[in-house]
């Protein structure tokens, strides 16, 4: 199951949501402004990041700048409180499932949410007997080279 953290008016969030729908991916959407993120949920997001807060906190956002806060000086509890009170400091969208964590919308990165078995199947599904092989097969060969 994919959890999609969004906000209204976010073009990248709309793109991610549409991509998930177009690819028939099951997801739960959580609007960060109408759903209070629980402490455990925020901690889980932080645990899944590669670079800690810089992966999910938009330090260049106007709201964050107005807080005059140094993230390095905050305890985990203070950081959780900060995010709960100011959800707009989160980068969006955030997409997470059991194995993958994607922040922002990127055509290539979002494909990480497709299960590995399905990706492997699609890689071998198109062969010379496929009607579209002259197009997609050639393209796939070019990418692999």
Look up residue 27 and give its two tokens. 């997801």
Q: Which positions are catalytic?
A: 10
Pairwise CA distance, residues 39 & 126, whole Å? 45
Range(s) of the chain covered by CATH 3.40.30.10: 2-113
CATH number assigned to the domain covering 2-113: 3.40.30.10
Using only the alpha carbons of the chain, give its radius of gyration. Answer: 19
Give the tens place of pLDDT for each residue, 18-30: 999 998 899 999 9
What pLDDT was estimated at residue 20?
94
The pTM of this model reads 0.79
């Amino acid at each position: 199951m994919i959890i999609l953290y969004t906000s209204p008016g976010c073009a990248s969030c709309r793109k991610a949501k549409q991509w998930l729908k177009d690819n028939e991916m099951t997801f739960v959407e959580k609007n960060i402004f109408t759903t209070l993120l629980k402490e455990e949920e925020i901690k889980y997001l932080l645990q899944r990041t590669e670079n800690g807060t810089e992966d999910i906190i938009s330090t260049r956002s106007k709201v964050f700048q107005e807080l005059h806060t140094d993230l390095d000086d905050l305890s985990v509890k203070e950081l959780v409180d900060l995010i709960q009170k100011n959800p707009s400091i989160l980068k969006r969208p955030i997409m997470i499932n059991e194995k993958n964590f994607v922040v922002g919308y990127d055509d290539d990165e979002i494909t990480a949410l497709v299960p590995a078995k399905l990706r492997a199947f699609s890689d071998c599904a198109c062969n010379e007997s496929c009607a579209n092989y002259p197009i997609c097969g050639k393209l796939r060969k070019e990418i692999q080279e």
